[in-house]
Amino acid sequence: MTSGATLNFPPAFQKSREALTNRIWFTRKARIQAEKRLLQNDFHSQLMLQLFTAYILVLSIYMLKFHAGGISDDAANVTLLVVSVLLFGLTPAVNSRNFKGRAEVFKIMYVKLQLLLDNLANLDWANSVEEAQHAYAEVQQEYARIIADGENHSEIDDAVARWGIPQSSRPLSVLETVSVLFYFGRRWAVWIGGYVVPPVFFVLYYLYRK
């Protein structure tokens, strides 16, 4: 951030202002990433639950109507009961995470953080240094309130938000870079596994029993 355009701020105040601006800016980026992560979790978890329900319906028709290649009725009933109970337990577990609602809270927070950044930028146009310092103190207090009022973002949200930012004042460490790569790899593995494994299992099971 450049020096004040209309006021000659003390160097210590200007340095503190720049530090707070950077802190709020990075916090806002991390909150945006947290919202993105939670919305992705909500989308994929809800879609997977719908697909699992469809898979169980198909399995039910196959096992009960065609007796699954010689499986007894008792075995078919037990199998369907097990997978139904698993789905019944998984659905409330996913819904209890409230991904969408938490994402909305993060959105509210990063919008408020943007307003704080605007207020810090507007300190250049204060009527006096004292007025600017008072406004700066209010920004500090509001920033602390925003952080305290809501769920905090995770460390990986902060690292992913800084991923790919050129000439960042907070470059990723080697450990953080590894963590980000592992984060992306794990998420893609879970998504691919969730979508691909059930139908592949049913196809292989059908071919094996045929």
Residue 58 phi, psi (nearest 5): -65, -45
d(CA 49, CA 148): 34
159 burial (CB, 10 Å; 0-12 / 13-18 / 19+) is buried
Per-residue confidence band for 8, with pLDDT thresholds at 50, 70 and 90? confident
Assess whether pLDDT exceeds 70 at residue 158.
Answer: yes
Q: What is the mean pLDDT of residues 124-140?
A: 94
d(CA 121, CA 98): 35
pTM: 0.84
d(CA 46, CA 106): 20
- Residue whose C-alpha is closest to residue 117's, from 4, 193, 22, 3: 22
Quote the mean pLDDT of the chain: 87
pLDDT tens digits along 76-93: 667 677 777 878 888 888
E-strand ranges in the chain read: none
Assess whether pLDDT exceeds 90 at residue 56.
Answer: no
